[in-house]
Structure formats: structure tokens, C-alpha cells
């Protein structure tokens, strides 16, 4: 075990490829595209959420269904909420320097959560649940504004996660 095994980043700042499953890696790549398309110069937590919705795995799709939301419509609403009228940003990389402090914390907490459940890599539901349980989460706050609490979002996600892990 090297000194880098405890962190989710390689020495060059890239996210370690072994800390995410394939669906999460795709969601992270999608989050970069959403940051660019909304004219942000870094990936923020709403972009992580958009990435999860972009190509939802079965569990994230089941969560949106349980919530009674259309995945595409929810994605459009979040993209509209976080669009900045600004000059297009240069390309971003999945690198620590292009991730907000909150995104880094969510990724690290998601990795800890995965390990707590006996997994070495972050699954999409780890990211989703961490987005709702992180203090002062802007993603959870957006749902709170329409009357859906972070506790309810988390409850639905945990239920879906339990069901999908049993099947």
C-alpha cells in the first residue's frame, strides 16, 4: 500500500481510476460536460448531480422514479438553475484543481461510505446519498425549496440502494 492509497487522487491530481465503478466514472465525466455547458470554470456539486442524471444507472433511475420525477426533466431543471450567462470556459479535466472544495469532500466522503459498505470503489448511489447528507448541500437545498427534504431524498435513495443490492 502506498501513501496515495488513502486518498482518491493520484499525485498528478487526477481522480484514481480504481476508486470509481464504471457508472460513477461516466457520471464524473458527464459532470465535466455539465460544468462546461453551464459556463462554470470548475465542477460543483450540482454538476455531480447532473452527471448522475445524465446516464443514470439502474439505482439512480429507480430513485428518480420513486421520487416521481422524470430524469430528463429533472436534469433540464437543474441545468437551467445553474446556468451562468458568461463566456464559455476552456476545457476542464477530471483533476483536483478543477473540482470545488465541496466536490472533493463529496468524493472523499463517498469513497469512505463505499468502504464502510465493503466496496473499494464509489457507486453512483454513494455519490447521490452523500450529496443529500452533506451539510449545507446546495443540491438538497434546491429540493427543500419545493418541499422535498434532504431526509426524504436520502430515505428514498437508501431504500432503492438496499433493494438493488439484494437483486
Q: What is the pLDDT of residues 91-135, one digit of tens each?
A: 788 899 999 999 999 999 999 999 999 999 999 999 999 999 999
Res 5: pLDDT: 55
Contact present, 71 and 15 (Cβ < 8 Å): no
Q: How confident is the model at residue 72 (pLDDT cuts 50, 70, 90)?
A: very high
* Domain extent listing, the chain: 17-166
CA distance 113 to 129: 9
Of 54, 56, 34, 55, whose CA–CA distance to 45 is shortest? 34
What's the chain's average pLDDT?
Answer: 92
Q: How far is Cα 85 from Cα 20, in angstroms, rounded to an integer?
A: 32
- Asked whether 51 and 29 are in contact (CB, 8 A), the reply is yes
pLDDT band per the 50, 70, 90 thresholds, residue 138: very high
Per-residue pLDDT tens for 19-46?
Answer: 999 999 999 999 999 999 999 999 999 9
pTM of the model: 0.92
Q: Which three cell numbers stand for residue 5?
A: 492509497
26 in Cβ contact with 129 (< 8 Å):
no
Q: Mean of the pLDDT values across residues 59-83? A: 94
- Whether residue 86 is predicted with pLDDT greater than 80 in this model: the reply is yes
Q: Exposed, middle or buried: residue 84 (CB in 10 Å: 0-12, 13-18, 19+)?
A: exposed
Of 149, 93, 158, the closest CA to residue 125 belongs to: 158
- Residue 122's DSSP bridge partners are 20
Contact between 86 and 57 under an 8 Å Cβ cutoff? The reply is no
Q: Does domain 17-166 have CATH number 1.10.8.420?
A: no
| Sign of CA pseudo-dihedral 55, 39, 47, 132 | negative
Amino acid at each position: 500500500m502506498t501513501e496515495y492509497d488513502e486518498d482518491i487522487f493520484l499525485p498528478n491530481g487526477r481522480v484514481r481510476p480504481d476508486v470509481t465503478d464504471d457508472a460513477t466514472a461516466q457520471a464524473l465525466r458527464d459532470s465535466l460536460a455539465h460544468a462546461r455547458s453551464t459556463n462554470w470554470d470548475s465542477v460543483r456539486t450540482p454538476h455531480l448531480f447532473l452527471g448522475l442524471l445524465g446516464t443514470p444507472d439502474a439505482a439512480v433511475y429507480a430513485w428518480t422514479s420513486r421520487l416521481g420525477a422524470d430524469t430528463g426533466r429533472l436534469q433540464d431543471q437543474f441545468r437551467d438553475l445553474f446556468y451562468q450567462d458568461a463566456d464559455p470556459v476552456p476545457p476542464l479535466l477530471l483533476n483536483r484543481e478543477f473540482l470545488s472544495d465541496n466536490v472533493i469532500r463529496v468524493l472523499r466522503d463517498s469513497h469512505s461510505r463505499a468502504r464502510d459498505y465493503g466496496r473499494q470503489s464509489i457507486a453512483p448511489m454513494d455519490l447521490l446519498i452523500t450529496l443529500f447528507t452533506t451539510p449545507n448541500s446546495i443540491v438538497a437545498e434546491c429540493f427543500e425549496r419545493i418541499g422535498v427534504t434532504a431526509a426524504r431524498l436520502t430515505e428514498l435513495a437508501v431504500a432503492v440502494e438496499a433493494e438493488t443490492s439484494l437483486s
